[in-house]
């Protein structure tokens, strides 16, 4: 049949199952925007491309599906680099489509021209410019296949604007694509080596990374753990990989994580690391003691060969998807006849360590009527529905989420991840709320991040996307203020904020909002705010000097001064 290039692009997106497109309208893709409602693809217009990118990321993380991200050429594309990099590190599938200048002018430095492919190459799995109008559909299919293959991630196609109007022959697209996780049966000799290492270990520990955030993988890891009473820890930002109520799920390691998990790792003689990069941040000391076990044997399973043994010496490096690794470990465990006394002893030791840690962190640390950040997290810990989805930002107040919140299902906890960018939580939560309409969604962030993300809040309100936002207002960039408090003798330069009235601002945008300043009002206010339908903003006034431990004590120090003393 005859169709224009824009039709082939949008029809290909529809046939591949894309239901939502995020972005900001721009003239280079107007033909695409005009076709979206005709194809039944819902468009969510943001107020900044970075927030649109985080929305697509949040949607992908919560649903496991791919979303489209539509961008104007030039600054429209360069504005999304942070979001694309965040999504790539989180293995979030996004089809990024940017308009490009007229094909005949590309390379002349024309208006709104940038080398889009070069810009996006480092922050996506695959980036290409469409060379001919009749190859648009082919490029969409290729981008989709790469985005949805293990490890998943964002891909990018750049389409010269004149191609969208060119008439081409179009055969349609085969929409019966089935892309399963990469399945590799490990060689028998490799399985035997793994089995012997496990048999020879007295204190094995399983470390599950972000690639394990899948119901089937989680079930296999628990099967392995139950069979041998091996404790499970998760890497930073992936607390939802294994349900919190599993007795041998000790919590996360890394910044703000579980002391019980870190102590188990410290005393391990074998680490089984599945679906993780295993980088320096994985073993970041936090509670005053280093816990990387230098003498332990390490088996690392990852689908990316670049990550094998890159940061640490490993005993075995196995190129494998997380699902293949989890299946192999479950099968190996069934072949091991463990002494029941050993199994019971391990279970008792680690379940008790977990219980002791949870008791320790569950106690309120003050008797005054002032609200501590921890008070809010303890309330959320006990009162959030089990199906709640939580997106946190980077900073001082979200740091408590890694130890204090509980998660019972996969794909319910989202953080900015290794890139560590401020500006993630509200747009990611917005995308998650679109993906999971029956689950309550919460964004937790500080006041600095909140004022940065107000455009994303406007999008949620404009599109009537239900959302609960908790703003910890300490009038500061809290994490950097903690660093200055700890390393710079409390010389606060650039970290104190002079905020407007955040409740008034929220209400003016159309949100329901309240502020709470006293502990005895916390329960009532939170219930009132969160029982409201729509977009809700709770502002919690907290002490500006009660800050968490600095996260990067490995990289900061009290400076020697020879000139400026």
Of the two residues 370 and 250, the one the predictor is more confident about is 250
CB 447 within 8 A of CB 422: no
Q: Is 260 helix (H, G, I), strand (E, B) or coil?
A: helix
**Confidence band, pLDDT 50/70/90 cuts, at residue 177:** low
C-alpha span between 83 and 459 (Å, rounded): 17
Q: In Å, how far are 118, 134, 271, 308 from 313, measured between CA atoms?
A: 33, 49, 12, 9
Per-residue pLDDT band for 300 (boundaries 50, 70, 90) equals very high
Across the range 517-533, mean pLDDT stands at 93
Strands, E assignment, 341-411: 389-392
Q: Mean pLDDT over residues 202-210, rounded?
A: 97
Unique residue bearing structure tokens 């012997």: 196
The residues that bridge with 160 in the sheet, in sequence order, are 100
d(CA 41, CA 152): 22
Percent of the chain with pLDDT over 70: 98
455 CB-side CA count, 13 A:
15
C-alpha separations of 395 from 106, 256, 383, 531 in Å? 41, 11, 23, 27
Report the share of the chain in percent with pLDDT over 90. 78
3-class SS string, 497-537:
CCCCCHHHHHHHHCCEEEEECEHHHHHHHHHHHHCCCCEEE
Phi/psi at 523 (nearest 5 deg)? -60, -50
Task: Flag whether pLDDT at 506 surpasses 60.
Answer: yes
Cα–Cα distances (Å) from 466 to 442, 455, 533, in that order, read 9, 16, 7
pLDDT at 475 over 60: yes
- When mean pLDDT is compared across 58-72, 180-194, 195-209, the lowest value belongs to 180-194
Query: Please, are residues 32 and 58 in contact by the beta-carbon 8 Å criterion?
Result: no
Cβ pair 227, 329 in contact under 8 A:
no
Cβ atoms < 10 Å from Cβ of 523: 13
Check whether 321 has a pLDDT greater than 70. Answer: yes
The C-alpha torsion from 56 through 61 and 62 to 67, rounded to 10°, is 30
Distance CA 351, CA 119 (A): 48
pLDDT band at 150; cut points 50, 70, 90? confident
120-136 tens-digit pLDDT: 999 999 999 999 999 99
Confidence of residue 288 (pLDDT cuts 50, 70, 90): confident
How confident is the model over 469-486, as a mean pLDDT? 91
Please say whether the beta carbons of 220 and 193 come within 8 A: no
Contact 98, 156 (CB under 8 A): yes
| The pair of three-digit structure tokens given for residue 500, joined into one six-digit string | 């407007």
SS (H, E, C) 400-438: HHHHHCCCCCCCCEECCHHHCCCCCHHHHHHHHHHHCCC
Cβ–Cβ under 8 Å, residues 432 and 414: yes
- Per-residue confidence at 118, pLDDT binned at 50, 70, 90? very high
Kindly provide the b/e burial profile for residues 107-136, where b requires at least 16 CB atoms within 10 angstroms of the residue's own CB: eeeeebbbebbebbeebbbbbbbbeebbbb
Rounded distance, CA 421 to CA 235, Å? 18
Dihedral, CA of residue 541, residue 546, residue 552 and residue 557, to nearest 10:
140
Q: Which two tokens stand for residue 282?
A: 């994985």
Q: How confident is the model at residue 181 (pLDDT cuts 50, 70, 90)?
A: low
Query: How far, in Å, CA of 522 to CA of 369, rounded?
Result: 10
Of the candidates 275, 278, 423, the one whose C-alpha atom is nearest the C-alpha of residue 265 is 278
Residue 182 pLDDT? 58
**Mean pLDDT in the chain?**
93
> Which tokens is 429 given?
């939560």
Following DSSP, what letter does each residue of 117-140 receive, concatenated? HHHHGGGSSEEEE--SGGGHHHHH
Give pTM, 2 decimals.
0.94
Residue among 334, 371, 423, 401 nearest 540 (CA): 371
């Amino acid at each position: 049949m005859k169709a224009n290039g824009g039709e082939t692009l949008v029809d290909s997106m529809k046939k591949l199952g894309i239901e939502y497109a995020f972005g900001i309208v721009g003239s280079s893709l107007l033909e695409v925007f005009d076709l979206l409602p005709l194809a039944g693809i819902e468009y969510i217009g943001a107020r900044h491309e970075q927030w649109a990118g985080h929305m697509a990321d949040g949607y992908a993380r919560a649903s496991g599906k791919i979303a489209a991200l539509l961008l104007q050429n030039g600054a429209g594309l360069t504005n999304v680099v942070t979001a694309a990099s965040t999504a790539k590190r989180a293995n979030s599938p996004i089809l990024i489509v940017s308009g490009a200048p007229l094909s005949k002018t590309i390379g002349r430095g024309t208006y709104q021209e940038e080398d889009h492919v070069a810009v996006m190459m480092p922050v996506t799995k695959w980036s290409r410019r469409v060379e001919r109008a009749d190859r648009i559909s082919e490029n969409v299919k290729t981008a989709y296949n790469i985005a949805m293959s293990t490890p998943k991630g964002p891909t990018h196609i750049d389409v010269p604007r004149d191609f969208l109007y060119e008439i081409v022959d179009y055969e349609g697209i085969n929409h019966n694509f089935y892309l399963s996780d990469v399945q590799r049966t490990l060689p028998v000799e490799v399985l035997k080596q793994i089995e012997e290492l496990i048999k020879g270990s007295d204190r094995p520990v399983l470390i599950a990374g972000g690639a394990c955030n899948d119901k089937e993988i989680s079930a296999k890891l628990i099967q392995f753990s139950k069979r041998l009473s091996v404790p499970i820890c998760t890497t930073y930002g992936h607390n939802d990989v294994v349900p919190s109520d599993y007795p041998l799920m000790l919590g996360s390691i890394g910044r703000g994580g579980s002391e019980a998990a870190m102590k188990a790792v410290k005393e391990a003689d074998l680490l089984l690391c599945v679906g993780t990069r295993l980088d320096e941040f994985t073993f970041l000391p936090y509670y005053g003691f280093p816990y990387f076990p230098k003498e332990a044997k390490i088996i690392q399973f990852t689908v990316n060969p670049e990550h094998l043994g890159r940061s640490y010496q490993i005993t075995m490096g196995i190129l494998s998807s997380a699902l293949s690794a989890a299946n192999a470990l479950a099968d190996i465990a069934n072949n091991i006849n463990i002494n029941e006394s050993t199994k019971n002893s391990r279970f008792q030791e680690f379940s008790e360590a977990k219980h002791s840690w949870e008791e320790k962190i569950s106690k309120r640390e003050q008797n005054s009527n002032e609200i501590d950040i921890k008070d809010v997290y303890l309330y959320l810990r006990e009162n959030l529905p089990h199906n709640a989805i939580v997106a946190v930002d980077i900073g001082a107040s979200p740091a408590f989420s890694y130890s204090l919140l509980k998660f019972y299902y996969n794909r319910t906890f989202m953080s900015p991840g290794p890139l560590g960018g401020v500006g993630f939580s509200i747009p990611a939560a917005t995308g998650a709320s679109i993906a999971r309409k029956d689950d309550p969604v919460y964004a937790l962030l500080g006041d600095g991040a909140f004022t940065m993300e107000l455009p994303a809040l406007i999008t949620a309100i404009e599109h009537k996307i239900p959302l609960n936002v908790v703003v910890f207002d300490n009038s500061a960039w809290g994490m950097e203020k903690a660093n200055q408090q700890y390393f710079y003798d409390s010389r606060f330069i650039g970290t104190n904020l002079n905020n407007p009235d955040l409740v008034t601002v929220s209400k003016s945008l159309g949100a329901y909002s309240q502020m709470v300043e006293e502990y005895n009002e916390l329960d009532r206010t939170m219930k009132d705010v969160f029982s409201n339908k729509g977009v809700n903003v709770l502002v919690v006034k907290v002490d500006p000097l009660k800050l968490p431990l600095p996260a990067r004590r490995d990289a900061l120090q009290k400076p020697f001064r020879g000139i400026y003393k």
